């Protein structure tokens, strides 16, 4: 559950960031490659970030050290979303991400 004081942050390509900005999310970072990885590394350490949304492509390009860090933490929840090229198959489902964050399933 994201508390009112926790932010939803988006890191991705320009079209993805624009879409989330239009949906009302203010903390968007149109970055790719190493710049996106550096921003994600920074965001993982901030106590007021509850959810990080990023393009699946960026998530797939992160180095193994950062991927392991994401896998080990429960908060913030990191969610990969498809970009304009379509979905990738290796990303966890939202149900699994919520289970990881909360420690139990909301819906069985």
The whole-model pTM stands at 0.75
Q: Is the pLDDT of residue 83 over 60?
A: yes
Q: Assess whether pLDDT exceeds 50 at residue 3.
A: yes
| DSSP letter string, 37-79 | HHHHHHHHT-TTEEEEEEEHHHHHHS-HHHHHHHHH--SSEEE
- Work out the average pLDDT over 2-9: 76
Res 81 pLDDT > 50: yes
Q: Is 29 helix (H, G, I), strand (E, B) or coil?
A: strand
Stretch 4-22: mean pLDDT, rounded? Answer: 90
Query: Tell me, what's the pLDDT at 105?
Result: 59
When the pLDDT of each residue in the chain is averaged and rounded to a whole number, the result is 82
pLDDT per residue over 90-106, tens digit each? 445 555 666 665 566 55
State yes or no: pLDDT of 39 exceeds 50: yes
Q: What is the pLDDT of residues 15-34, one digit of tens each?
A: 999 999 999 999 999 998 89
- What angle (nearest 5°) sits at the alpha carbon of residue 20, between those of residues 16 and 26? 125
**Close Cβ partners of 75 (under 8 Å, ≥ 6 residues apart):** 50, 101
């Amino acid at each position: 559950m994201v508390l009112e004081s926790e932010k939803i942050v988006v890191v991705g390509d320009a079209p993805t960031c624009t879409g989330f900005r239009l949906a009302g999310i203010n903390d968007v970072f149109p970055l790719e490659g190493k710049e996106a990885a550096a921003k994600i590394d920074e965001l993982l350490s901030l106590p007021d970030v509850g959810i990080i949304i990023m393009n699946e492509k960026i998530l797939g390009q992160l180095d193994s050290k950062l991927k392991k860090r994401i896998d080990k933490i429960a908060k913030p929840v990191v969610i990969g979303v498809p970009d304009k090229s379509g979905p990738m198959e290796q990303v966890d489902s939202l149900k699994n991400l919520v289970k990881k964050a909360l420690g139990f399933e909301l819906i069985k």
